[in-house]
Amino acid sequence: MIKRILSLALLTVLVTAVFGGCSAKEKEHTVSFFAMNTYMSVSAYGENSRLAAEQAQAEVTRLDRLWSVTDSGSELFALNSLNSGNSNSVSDDTAELIRFSLEMAELTGGAFDPTIYPVLTAWGFTKDENRVPEDAEIAELLTKTGYRKISQNGNLISLADGTMLDFGAVAKGAAADRTAEIMRENGITSALINLGGSITVIGKNPDNSDWRIGIKDPFGEDYIGILSLSNASAVTSGAYERNFTAADGTVYGHIIDPSTGRPADNDLASVTVISENAALCDALSTALFVMGSEKAVQFCNENGTAYGFDIILITKDKELILSGGAAEKFRLTDKSSTISAD
Ligand code: AMP
Ligand code: MG
């Protein structure tokens, strides 16, 4: 069941603020670091917290080196430098992420597409030198994109001529899943993993209550409400996260609609996806942002149960749309708004 909240005075997105006490008696260890072009922090509680947090940082750093699209020493860079017709044997980590990315691309009808990088570059998002490309340039670049131009046979990967892979929409989620695994391997039963806004919580917080995750207002600095989660991930996508304003005043965001080669421009301001699988949250939050609210709601109705995810959509009209599971876990900050089911 989908619920809609109308007439919100205030709205947001991007999961950033995290609330919840941590009692002094619990052993806590936090690592903060920069990886995958973003700030990350991992807080683990209890015995082994230091070891677990340090292992997590090392692992995320290793995955960053493997999956960086710009670092000439990365496995992805080597793959993107291949001549068409040749194939590379990649690590199990990369092979699994490509397999998952292809599954997500297929599932979302190509709204999620890991080959969009050349188009993203044309819009200047990869170098922060933004520009609006000509239609002909976009059309030419679209001949190089499309997830079907990736061939995978186990660990053997080949790409069509000029096609490039980029895990920008899914790597942080995949790294969060790996971090959660490391926590569990170390016997950690309480942890908060924040990989640049891709949030995963293990167990309950040290006060033995659900972790409270603030959902940020896409139109301002505040948060619109709080998600109560345990053993779950929440990932938000929105154009407000990274965009530029062209000379004519048009705002262009960093999430590209693969069918047009232009920044997604529909009724959505942000999408949050909640599930036990952070990589799924990451891929789907990007894809649903491309779809717009109508298709995103339909997609959730068709796949939410099978894939085990819930959604929170915030529209540009400041309407909040929640799937049933999300509505149970979400409390609005602004109590004057009402939630209605339809
Ligand atoms: P996210 O912040 O997870 O929504 O991912 C956005 C990033 O993914 C962008 O900065 C691009 O690197 C890449 N990207 C943009 N559009 C798409 C798309 N339609 N499918 C897959 N990746 C995309
Ligand atoms: Mg994503």
What confidence tens digit (pLDDT) does each residue in 40-82 have? Answer: 999 999 999 999 999 999 999 999 999 999 999 999 999 999 8
Distance between Cα 24 and ligand 2 center (Å) = 35
Q: How far apart are CA 53 and CA 41, in angstroms?
A: 9
Instruction: Give the pLDDT mean for 92-112.
Output: 98
Of 20-24, 146-150, 174-178, 259-263, give the lowest mean pLDDT range: 20-24
Where is pLDDT greater, at 337 or 170? 170
Q: How far apart are CA 297 and CA 218, in angstroms?
A: 19
pLDDT at 336: 45
pLDDT at 5: 55
**Phi-psi region for residue 162, left (φ > 0), alpha (ψ -120 to 50) or beta?**
left
Secondary structure letter of residue 249 according to DSSP = S
> What pairing do the DSSP bridges indicate for beta strands 330-332 and 28-35?
unpaired
Residue-averaged pLDDT of the chain: 91
Instruction: Give the pLDDT mean for 289-296.
Output: 98
- Tell me the percentage of the chain whose pLDDT exceeds 90: 83
Asked whether the predicted pLDDT for residue 1 surpasses 80, the reply is no
3-class DSSP assignment, residue 167: coil
Asked whether the predicted pLDDT for residue 13 surpasses 90, the reply is no
Asked whether the predicted pLDDT for residue 325 surpasses 80, the reply is yes
Atom of ligand 1 nearest to the CA of 256: 16
Asked whether the predicted pLDDT for residue 118 surpasses 50, the reply is yes
Distance between Cα 270 and ligand 1 center (Å) = 13
Instruction: Give the pLDDT mean for 308-331.
Output: 96
Residue 198 in contact with ligand 1 by CB distance below 6 A: no
Q: What is the pLDDT of residues 158-202, one digit of tens each?
A: 999 999 999 999 999 999 999 999 999 999 999 999 999 899 999
pLDDT at 309: 98
Where is pLDDT greater, at 129 or 269? 269
The closest residue, in CA terms, to atom 3 on ligand 1 is 169
φ, ψ for residue 312 (rounded to 5)? -130, 115
pLDDT at 18: 52
Instruction: Give the pLDDT mean for 142-164.
Output: 96
Q: How far apart are CA 239 and CA 222, in angstroms?
A: 17
Where is pLDDT greater, at 96 or 126? 96
Distance between Cα 237 and ligand 2 center (Å) = 6
Tell me which ligand sits closest to the C-alpha of residue 67: 1
pLDDT at 11: 32
Distance between Cα 258 and ligand 1 center (Å) = 10
Instruction: Give the pLDDT mean for 219-246.
Output: 93
